[in-house]
Structure 1
């Protein structure tokens, strides 16, 4: 074990089963519901009047958005199952290998981006922030060596843990 590993306290295991996780879970599932409602209602109507380039971009970004949210929802459901004792950590690890938490690139300079409905762009931004929080928590829980490797050398262990907590729980 590295010296860094000996001096770093991991809060992720506790955080993943805490009230903060319940808040993250609610936020994630709420965003899934909000996005579905938007895409089936106001988003559908708004997409029909977009210029051609924005319309194509809307179609692509809505697919990326729903995929991103479904992957996060899968991770949150798996974590909830392990927290509730419904699945073992090994079972979750096996199922978790099917979940992708890596970002899909969003090119805000793409032709048509500025013409997309503001509420749609907001859903994308919120989903990306949530995805980053979930991915960070995932690394800390299931791949702590990888999470430690992404801490810059100029950051001490306490600052790194505070940053992890801020990111995981969406505080600044």
Structure 2
């Protein structure tokens, strides 16, 4: 064990719960998710305006209707995710307050609807569109998980424990430290 205190090392005190969401938003990993999301928006726009438009013209009428429907759903889903990412980035950079971010977040629909792959005829859609739809669902799932984690603040978690009440995880970690320090 080191003689450096937790405060000197930059670690929070043992009885304080750290919010994953607060830490993640300030991290390089958030920047990676942001870049991934914006790149997906750009790739989708390029596909729908270019090769996708050409491929759609070659489809049978019934599949063309499905193509139009799926491309609209994809675009809507991506706009919601881009809005969420932009709100979080603005909050991270101090451009908006937490209150403003919460208000703006209420206007963003981040629910996981039924997957398009279950729709009859989905397999007949061009591979490019199916790939983008799959990538958008994977990113949406990740953003939904992050949104849940980021909505829990360390102050909220720490407020739930009464003074003098111990943290069960902290107790287990202390027991492990004692057991392995022998």
Question: Normalised by the size of structure 2, how large is the TM-score?
Answer: 0.72
Partners of 2:18 and 2:93 in 1: CA distance: 24
Matches within 5 A, 1:1-172: 10-143=19-152
Residues 21 and 152, structure 2, Cα contact 8 Å, conserved in 1: no
Listed one character per residue, the Cα deviations across residues 44-92 of structure 1 (whole Å, up to 9, x for unaligned) are 0001111222111111110000000000000000000010001111110
- The root-mean-square deviation of aligned C-alpha atoms, in Å, is 2.0
Summarize the Cα distance change of 1:97–1:32 in structure 2 as closer, same or farther, 3 Å threshold: same
Structure having the higher Rg: 2
Partners of 1:73 and 1:80 in 2: CA distance: 10
Aligned residues: 141
Structure 2 equivalent of residue 170 of structure 1: none
Partners of 2:119 and 2:142 in 1: CA distance: 25
Which sections of structure 2, spanning at least 5 residues, go unmatched? 1-14, 154-168, 170-182
Question: Normalised by the size of structure 1, how large is the TM-score?
Answer: 0.76
Partners of 2:65 and 2:139 in 1: CA distance: 25
Which sections of structure 1, spanning at least 5 residues, go unmatched? 1-5, 145-156, 158-172
Residues 46 and 117, structure 1, Cα contact 8 Å, conserved in 2: yes
